[in-house]
Amino acid sequence: MTGSETMTAESKRARVRRLLIEPLIADGFRKRQKDGDEAHQHFLDRLADSVAYMSDDGLRGLRRCLSTKGEGSARHFWPCFATIIGHAEAFEKRPLAELPELLRWFASKAGPAALEAGRHVEEYEFWKKFKRPPTHPEDQHKVAEKAAQWQSKAQRVREEIQRLGKARWPQDRQWLDWYEAQGEYVRELIEGKAE
């Protein structure tokens, strides 16, 4: 890790400590008696690293939410890591770019199959929302349905631009730019060119 990477990681941790951890400690949260100081510090560092992607407002909201989620009979012990991360995801979804182990799905056989079927953008959006693949038949149906809708919309906007020289509505052009950029990004993931 370079010096600038270390500084960035430290500054992210410091921000999470200032907006989330220190206010919760001030509210009365403390380590469990069975945990040693080193284990508790590791927990807090892991927590800070895991929620550093969140905005300041998201961290403030998470703090308010967690302040009522203390564990133990006095409700003053830190909730478990999974509980905190679950609430963090409810406030702000973690970007998939920060979860390379999940993005490997697109480098597997599933990625080229999604690309060939024209549903690669929609599968990526499903992953962003649920952090899992659309393996259930109901999920697959929803993804395929969304792909058909978005492909139809993209075709309509492209035809308007070709015919009129611009999209009928500015937001349609913005959406098309986003859709095409997402399509290219996911294509690069599938081909192993994106990080």
pLDDT tens digits, one per residue of 96-125? 777 777 788 888 898 999 999 999 999 999
Sign, Cα dihedral of 179, 140, 127, 103: negative
> Which ranges of the chain would DSSP assign to H, the alpha helix?
3-16, 22-27, 37-51, 56-66, 81-91, 100-103, 110-117, 120-130, 137-164, 170-190
pLDDT tens digits, one per residue of 131-151? 888 989 999 999 999 999 999
pLDDT at 7 over 90: no
Q: How far is CA 52 from CA 58, 85, 134, in A?
A: 10, 11, 27
Distance CA 106, CA 188 (A): 9
Contact 141, 122 (CB under 8 A): no
**The predicted structure's pLDDT at residue 4:** 43
Distance CA 117, CA 137 (A): 16
Closest CA relative to residue 143, chosen from 154, 164, 153, 129? 129
pLDDT tens digits, one per residue of 47-82? 999 999 999 999 999 999 999 999 988 889 999 999
pLDDT at 2 over 50: no
pLDDT tens digits, one per residue of 17-53? 999 999 999 999 998 888 888 999 999 999 999 999 9
Distance CA 123, CA 133 (A): 8
Residue 95, SS3 per DSSP: coil
Query: Would you list the domain boundaries of the chain?
Result: 3-94, 97-190
**The predicted structure's pLDDT at residue 5:** 47
Strand partners, 77: 30, 71
Q: How far is CA 64 from CA 44, 70, 100, 102, in A?
A: 17, 12, 30, 29
**The predicted structure's pLDDT at residue 8:** 54
